[in-house]
Structure 1
Amino acid sequence: MQQPVLRTHQIINMCLGFMGIQFGFALQNANVSRIFQTLGANMDELAILWIAAPLTGLLIQPIIGYYSDRTWTRWGRRRPFFFAGALLSAIALFIMPNSPALWIAVVMLWLLDAAINTSMEPFRAYVGDNLPPKQRPLGYALQSFFIGVGAVIASSLPWLLTALGVSNVAAEGELPNSVVYSFYLGGIVFFSAVLYTIVTTEEYSPEQLAQFNRQNDERVALTYQPLSLQPWQLALLIGGLILGGATYTLGWNKELWVLVGLLSGGFLLFAAASWLQRRGSDNMIVSLANDIAHMPVMMRRLAVVQFFTWFALFSMWIYTTSAVTGFHFGSSDPSSSTYNEGANWVGVLFSAYNGVGMLAALLLPLLARKIGTPATHALALSLGGVGLVSFYFIADPKWLLASMVLVGVAWASILSLPYALLSNCLPSHKMGTYMGIFNLFIVIPQLIAASVLGLLVSQLFDNQPIFAMVIGGVSFLVAAASLIGFNDDSHTRLEDSQ
């Protein structure tokens, strides 16, 4: 059976919910550092306080992917997860700007990010489920377009509300109404957009998907060998023990314990899965460990690119507010009008790169047909690297808009081209699981960034966050270089799937 080709309006309905999800992410990315600093966080604490975002993604997305692959209800396969995540996200968006203390704001960031991830992970698999291979690039491009729409509006909301007369200053330890009302609007839009997708779209049953994708599933069928501890897994344990011992005895920054936990946790996952498999168990831990250990080759190659890409993005999200307010506006006092003017300008900058990304998402597939998907992605990442490095060399904050144009091109590529490459090399019955696992190579670099960026900025750069932007730019360039020699497989070439 051939999977039906959907009309453009049907694909739009399918992707519109992602606009709401991006409302939540954009408000979080542009304002959480501001909220933390307002509630008393020090500059060198920002990275570790942000750890909630990648850690919840690390835990939530593979689990949601695993269970959404195995779920079928009267409401569908992925849509129940859309609804639950959207409802919880809306609640968190209403509560977060009213946090009376720093620790409450941190807890709300954990809840918000867990809820967003619950909605977001199935959306990636949703495109792979509902569209035939030749339409998937269009689906991911439209998904990126709506991500851009949501981010443009949400990132600039405090600035827009200030322009409409809403107060942009507040007493010490409190957030201005321009930020508080932005979060309220974000909660409403998030839930409404996701609900629209749930109501206007339908899903194929697992049996229908198996029929549609039989030929592709046979081509990409995965064969598993019994799990056994490998040298690289033992290296994780040894590395974690050495780093943990050094951190404890030498009194190194507490953020490094995140990296210790990451290394040790990786070893424990595979050790536990190996032990359970030998006892005849076939639970979620065994299944996920097998899927990670036997990833398709294309996915392994993309994992390296994703690692450096998302290290760069996390650097930008954490430190842009501090870099721009301190380096370009000359104020690090969250209660000052100058600082809040700079923080609002960061919202405009974030809106700009998302706006460019929204448009570039529709143009990049055309370029990919000419020069290939990997070359297009490498070019876009290189432009993003130049954009972040240029922050250090630009004095007038207005010219930072030019930097964000370059970042926007990279953002568009990041949100679409890797997924267009990946989806066609995955078996349909594991689409959600592998999309969740692919997210590991988004969140692991963020966890590493959270553990080492604060140390680097404080120890090497005298607490000057502008250098975190430079580090992020260099990481983008490394990601681009990782694509050298990366060839499209015949079945994943974007131009062959148009």
Structure 2
Amino acid sequence: MTAIKKELSFWQIWNMSFGFLGIQFGFALQGGFMSRIFQTLGADKDAIPFLWIAAPLTGLLVQPIIGYLSDQTWSPKFGRRKPFFFIGAVFSTIALFFAPYSSTLWMAAGALWILDASINISMEPFRALVADKLPDSQRSYGFVVQTLIIGIGTWIASNLPWFMTKLGVPNTAAPGVVPDSVKYAFAVGALVLFTSILYTILTTDEYPPEDLEKFEAEKKKGFLSGVQEIFKNISGMPKVMKQLGLVQFFSWFAFFTMWSFATPAITEHVFGVTDTSSEAYNDAADSVGNYLGTYGLVSMFYALALAFVTSKFKINRRLLHLVSLLAGACGFISIYFVTAPWMLHLSFMLVGISWASILSMPYAMLSSSVEPKKMGVFMGIFNMFIVMPQIIAALGGVNFLYKLIFGEAVINTMLLAGLLLILAAFSNLLIQDKRATHD
């Protein structure tokens, strides 16, 4: 018998999602500044995507396993998803703090690997928690509130090195050394990551499994049986998941392209600087972080508007996501035509609209189409469609495609990102299941 889930208030949903503030601090600092760290340590810009490869490769393995394990976990004291929140928070905090102290490229790539794997341990159960706790009528609302918190985290974290510089912390250092402004920013991010996840753990209760006796019996099957179960779920994934997977593939290929190349592309194309030890480059790199913060800020306001709409009205998730992705495509393409740095804020405002939708609508559509008792493992499997495009991009997909289609200049990576979001937008038209598309 399926338990009837109570509708939760905004603040109850806020509390259960607040840990995403810290998770996004980690992702924003990683996405906005790891390429800067790689360049500072001597990486050629064409080699940067390859240095990211360990992170998505690990995610490909970690996400479905963690999803499955969290589905099979229950403790009256610690809950189902919360133990994974805590474990991921501890390792993420350590990795985030030490990443900017890397003295070689292999150390920085290793720190990124540990950081990304650890954040994924916490993140996937957070996605499942929304589906665990909320009735279907509040699913879109719940994922939108998560996106609101993510937007806040993206904006603040992306601006931290710039803010540290304004406080007088040096943003330049000797060649091959990461500036103190970046080190301090990562330390603040580590603190926020741990405390925000701890806040969710302390303020949120979880429902026990609906049939505890059956749950305990299934839990005794063993690890090998669990692996077989994961592969069985992969081969038998719902049709809606496959269709959404194509949307996710193009979407995350686009954003991985931005995270890998925004700093070298914008510092070179808009600011005209390439010397990573120069004050001009580091000022420009701080500014790139500020522009990236704009997409987080706009995603926050867009999510706030969506939170109001989804709490009052039924929406067409598919159409909303399609339009939002097209807005982001226009944002990426416009970066190529920027003639003054302030115009980048306008470009990233459009990117922020697509980012808010990417973080909410696909998950809302998916959660209405899978079995509740397998929510964790399916959320983990679904995120394979996030890491697979990143792996392809990191193995040379970005370098090959942008040079083949648009030409050698590194700014052409932003044109490629725009094209990919256009493909993602129109892939939504493949989704026909009304349970997924309509709230």
Q: Report the TM-score when normalising by structure 1.
A: 0.82
- What residue number does 1:271 align with? none
- Give the 3 Å change call, closer, same or farther, for CA 342–90 of structure 1 in structure 2: same
Q: Which moved more, 1:282-291 or 1:60-69?
A: 282-291
| One of 347, 350, 361 as aligned partner of 2:289 | 347
Amino acid at match of 1:286: Q
| One of 380, 388, 393 as aligned partner of 2:324 | 380
Deviations 1:61-118 (A, max 9, x none): 0110011110112311110100010011110111111111111111111110110001
Amino acid at match of 1:439: N
CA–CA separation in structure 2 for the residues paired with 1:282 and 1:49 = 32
CA–CA separation in structure 2 for the residues paired with 1:296 and 1:486 = 12
- What residue number does 1:7 align with? 9
Contact 2:93-2:191 at 8 Å conserved across structures:
yes
Amino acid at match of 1:52: A
Contact 1:324-1:397 at 8 Å conserved across structures:
no
Contact 1:167-1:177 at 8 Å conserved across structures:
yes
- What residue number does 1:117 align with? 120
Aligned residue-pair number: 426
Residue 444 (1) aligns with residue 382 (2): no
CA–CA separation in structure 2 for the residues paired with 1:71 and 1:485 = 35
| One of 76, 81, 89 as aligned partner of 1:78 | 81
- Give the 3 Å change call, closer, same or farther, for CA 72–134 of structure 1 in structure 2: same
Per the TM alignment, residue 286 of structure 1 is displaced from its structure 2 partner at its CA by: 1.7
- What residue number does 1:276 align with? none
Per the TM alignment, residue 454 of structure 1 is displaced from its structure 2 partner at its CA by: 2.7
- Give the 3 Å change call, closer, same or farther, for CA 458–301 of structure 1 in structure 2: closer
Amino acid at match of 1:314: F
User: Looking at CA atoms only, which structure, 1 or 2, has the larger radius of gyration?
Assistant: 1
- Give the 3 Å change call, closer, same or farther, for CA 196–208 of structure 1 in structure 2: farther
CA–CA separation in structure 2 for the residues paired with 1:463 and 1:109 = 27
Contact 2:327-2:350 at 8 Å conserved across structures:
yes
- What residue number does 1:435 align with? 379
Contact 2:240-2:433 at 8 Å conserved across structures:
no
- What residue number does 1:61 align with? 63
Superposition pairs of residues 136-175 of structure 1, within 5 angstroms: 136-175=139-178
Per the TM alignment, residue 31 of structure 1 is displaced from its structure 2 partner at its CA by: 0.3
Deviations 1:458-482 (A, max 9, x none): 6776652211111010000011111
Amino acid at match of 2:235: A
Per the TM alignment, residue 371 of structure 1 is displaced from its structure 2 partner at its CA by: 6.3
CA–CA separation in structure 1 for the residues paired with 2:115 and 2:330 = 32
- Give the 3 Å change call, closer, same or farther, for CA 209–37 of structure 1 in structure 2: farther
Deviations 1:131-162 (A, max 9, x none): 11112211111100000111110000001111
Amino acid at match of 1:408: G
| One of 220, 238, 258 as aligned partner of 1:296 | 238
Contact 1:365-1:494 at 8 Å conserved across structures:
no
Deviations 1:336-386 (A, max 9, x none): 111111111111111100110011113236677576111110000001011
Residue 399 (1) aligns with residue 343 (2): yes
Residue 96 (1) aligns with residue 99 (2): yes
Contact 2:267-2:284 at 8 Å conserved across structures:
yes
Contact 2:85-2:197 at 8 Å conserved across structures:
yes
SS in 1 for 2:428: coil
CA–CA separation in structure 1 for the residues paired with 2:239 and 2:403 = 39
- What residue number does 2:334 align with? 390
Amino acid at match of 1:16: F
CA RMSD of aligned residues (A): 2.0
Contact 1:385-1:477 at 8 Å conserved across structures:
yes
Amino acid at match of 1:163: K
CA–CA separation in structure 2 for the residues paired with 1:27 and 1:487 = 37
| One of 169, 181, 184 as aligned partner of 1:181 | 184
Query: Which consecutive residues of structure 1, in runs of 5 or more, have no partner in the other structure?
Result: 212-280
Residue 418 (1) aligns with residue 362 (2): yes
CA–CA separation in structure 2 for the residues paired with 1:210 and 1:200 = 27
